[in-house]
Structure 1
Amino acid sequence: MRPNAIPSTDAGRPLILSRTPGAAWRAALATVTLLALIGAGVPAVAQKTTDDPEAAKKEERAMQERWRQWMETEVAYIITDEEKALFNKLSTDEERDRFVEDFWRRRDPDPRTAENEYKIEYYRRIAYANDRYASGIPGWKSDRGRVYITLGPPDSIETHPAGSYYAGGLTSHGGSTLTYPMQVWTYRRIPWIGDDVRIEFVDKSSSGAFKLLSGPLDRADTLNAMTTLMSEEMLTRYDASDLVYLPIGTNRPQDQLFERFEQYAALQHAPKIRFDDLKQRVSAHAYTQSFPLAVQGYPLWMLPERAVVPLSVEVENRHLRYDQKGDSYQARLNVYILIEALDGRIMAEFDDDTVSAYTPNDFDRRLTEKTVYQRFVLLPAGRYKLSLAVKDTVSGQITVREQSLHIPALPAGELALSGLILARTVLPATAKDDPANPFLIGAFKVVPNVAATYRADDRLAVYGQIYRPARAEDSQRPQLSVRFEIRQGDAVRLTVEDPAGRSIKLDGPDRYVFMRGLPLAELAPGRYELRVTVEDAVGGGTASTTSRFVKE
């Protein structure tokens, strides 16, 4: 996990800043250093120092230039259009000074501490960019500097010196090319762009001024132009076709020609939140419940360092208002979600909408069901604050709430289980299922019961994942058994034993999942706990996980 991220609502890399005892004096040093490096500190409120009208005008012009530099230089990458418009309307230095104070205060992840961690990290990144990426212009103005300041350190960097033979492979449209000096930065995820994002910089002048490539055609021009710098001896060593970049052979949608241009455009701008009214309510902590909803995150450790978390929001249909449109009744929900680390860093921020539509013949029955919205987010282990606002667009009613979200760490080197997803249905995925279906997890379609409430005639479906089972030497397969127990207090109300592990399925090269439907008909209404225990006959390990539910 990388330690330095700006908790920006616009474009921060979602990682946690380490706190150390010396943070305060290092913060002051970083701030002073940064101000010297960029040559445009935060102006203090102007004080009248002379009665000379000409000198006063000169001082006023100098102050105006300093304010302009603050907005266009020092905070250029993080100030929003709305803040910029408001700042330009201010008429006095006292107003501008208060604006600057409020500007940083709004971004302070923990106002209880003496230092503003956001401001410290922002300045640190600018200082780092100035130190590493300057080439004729200050480093913070360079393309690499802008990307570093906005997104934080990349997860990996590939460096290709001038004249190197660059085999792009499947992630770069195939083919091999001779290159100018080139760097490829990879980010595992940029929320408003996608997963496994490769950002390429090339130094056409061989001066250290690396430029962000807009797409394959930009690099094609770069690579073709490389012939002007190659000696005749070098040219004889390569076929001419090696100097032409061909966008072929890629299997990744994000590497197709037009998708690369879209990525380039997206890198120039922070993600835009469409439902600003919902964002403002969350920012103002205007919590209200116009209709009840349930929210849950289900950590699944499908990546080494971060959990893949299906984040689910559930609303009962009877609380929504439906409009008749054509031959169906429709309700639409606008959703805004903000996930923050406890130190205030923004881990994920997005908005979306979902529509439920039913035919007139089916409408009354569907009103007894629920609408579930789900989206996947990537989070390292830790505790987070989850804030969300959900709007019924037909009635105009809005529910705003905040709750904790815990992503437990995966135990190292031993048999382990994910948390349980208590579901309405767990079914194998079929060829007819849309790959973009938000309920697909691996080879299975899991529709959660977010509120974990079941009626008398319901069956409880459960899904979970098994990590690091030992394998038998002869078969290279694990030997697992599983037990499902429903408890009420200290009493065990139902036990289902599966000694042969028939509830366990292989779902990938090294991932096993368990799933089961459990009958609830014999249970009295009340609150219960489901405990799932997996035993590993080869490795000798045992792991358990639990979740609570209610039978109505």
Structure 2
Amino acid sequence: MPALIRVLPIAAALAACLSVAPRAAADAARDARAASLHREALAHAARNTIESRRLAIDALVRATLLRPDQPAWELDLARLYLQCGFRRLARERFERVASLAPDDADARLGLAWVWRRDWLKFLDRSSLERAIAHLTHAVRARPERGDAWLALVPLLVEKGELRAASAAARRAREADPDRLEPRLADAYTAWRLGRVAEAERLFEATVPRLPAELRERFEDISPLASERDTFELRRLPSAAARDDFVRRFWRAQDPDLATPENEARLEYLARVAHAFFLFWDARRGAWDERGEVYVRYGPPASADYNPLGERLSFAFGVGPDYPVNLLVWNYPELGMRVRMHDRTLDEFYSLPVSRDADPDPLPALDSVRLADGRMAARSGRAVFPVLPPRTTPMPLAGALARFEGERSGRVLGHFAVPAGPGDTLWAEWVVLDSARSEVARAGRRMSPSACDPTGLQVADFAAEVRPGEYLIGVSVRDGLGRRGVYRAEVRVRAARPGLRVSDVVLACGPPLALAGAERGPAVRIEPNPGARVAGDAPLTAYFEIDGLARGADGRARFETSYTVRSAERDPRIWIQRILDPRSRIAPLNVTREGEHAGPLRRQFVTVPVQGLPAGRYVLEVRVRDLVSGDEASAAAAFVREAAAGRP
């Protein structure tokens, strides 16, 4: 019996050894088969065809079933699923990798990419949040991963966390100092934070170094230009001529001519950078219509994916209908609703096909005004903010007047902003000729207005210019981050023979005479650029009459007629205007005769408008030369404001 007891353990051990050997051999065979399938899958994936990718997926699925403890293989399969557009399957595999290796940055990047694409397609805000969360996890685990920092930037911008986006761009630059994309991210986030000079410096240093395919997107003006501009640009014979054309194009779009930076161009570069990070398709080497619309108009106020009640199909001619995904970007402030079709169902959008209408999105013309902080490109195909980000707008009223001379013309500008007498404001004036080259610049401190000494500050400027087309800009700053911008095109005509009347300048009281001018005493006008007459104050206007003929006695004789008429329009429809006509405000008419010793007469007129109801009016001036019989006219609009406590 004792001998038997000693033999039993030995037999058990021998049996265990005999059973382990087949298991070990089976495990080794399974591992070898799994490794072979993985190598086979990589070879199929390298051929990068539809069939080879299908074979690669099949091999990887079998390999991961044999070896479910291999995170790297799961990661390969997840990436392949994502490449083929199987986002749900890709997400499941990335999540498995994250469960096996929680700090695996590649798994977190993959999950972020899945949720990012989900957000771009379905516009679900929670998907954006998930993408940011996974990227944040990745950079915490692997802070040296510049690609993860870079991927965070556009998503944080979309979330409105600009400072965090800028910090992520800086970390991406530190991680990959030689890579250009982080520099673009740094440049456009600097612009979004209002660091204008820094943004311009970064863009100017980075864009010329980009690959040609991408650099062209930043330098191309065709998304903004008219067909005529694009045609002229392409016909220019030399690179220097094309560069000068682009320079003039951007100068014409510049909302603030007084600053060294071109705010519209910087906004465009920032939009291109953001569109590149969000919508660029590396396989196609292009972005879709979302990128085109974004660089022209910026982010939409809202977006809808396959909205209810919309047709989700299209047809070529009389053929069958094909399914389509519909994306709608809403710009209510521009009066636009931009429809884009994904006709290939692969998230690449284009404008709808139309035989009877141009689908190119254009804003409503009356929705783009400087007063609202927006400025349209000359083509009408793009809209830019007037001020840089994080700049507080300041209301700026302005009025220009032209005075013809014998050898040159004179342009007078009056400008006003709401400000107290103790505020410090600086105004700068710039005049560009038709080639958009600077011909005049001046700056001065603003002073209290004679119209409203406690509520307005004003400045006036003048420039002697040759006949031609000019672009005039004025910028006002207060040193506290507030800025007002004014710009207008003006045409100065060559002096014509015969009677001429200048533009009418509305003023606060009669002008002040100043000695020392070549053509008689000069005058200083207290400007009223807001063209508002308040309370019981009369309307005061100044203009010049030139080219008066002299009679036999050497004196000029003329007749001046002044008419003030209402400019209010009845907003009702035509049938309401017929059935219930409103009484018209009778115009004021005054006619006077005068005589003068020379050909130039400086004239101001005071019109009592206290009896007129509040509203919009036009002052019309008509001058008749009693010697030659010539006539000339001019006009100015103004607003009559009621006195306090009075209708």
Indicate whether the TM-score tops 0.5: no
Higher normalized strand content (fraction of residues): 1
Task: Please give the TM-score of this superposition, normalised by the length of structure 2.
Answer: 0.38
Higher normalized helix content (fraction of residues): 2
Greater relative contact order (Cα 8 A, min sep 6): structure 1 or 2?
Answer: 1
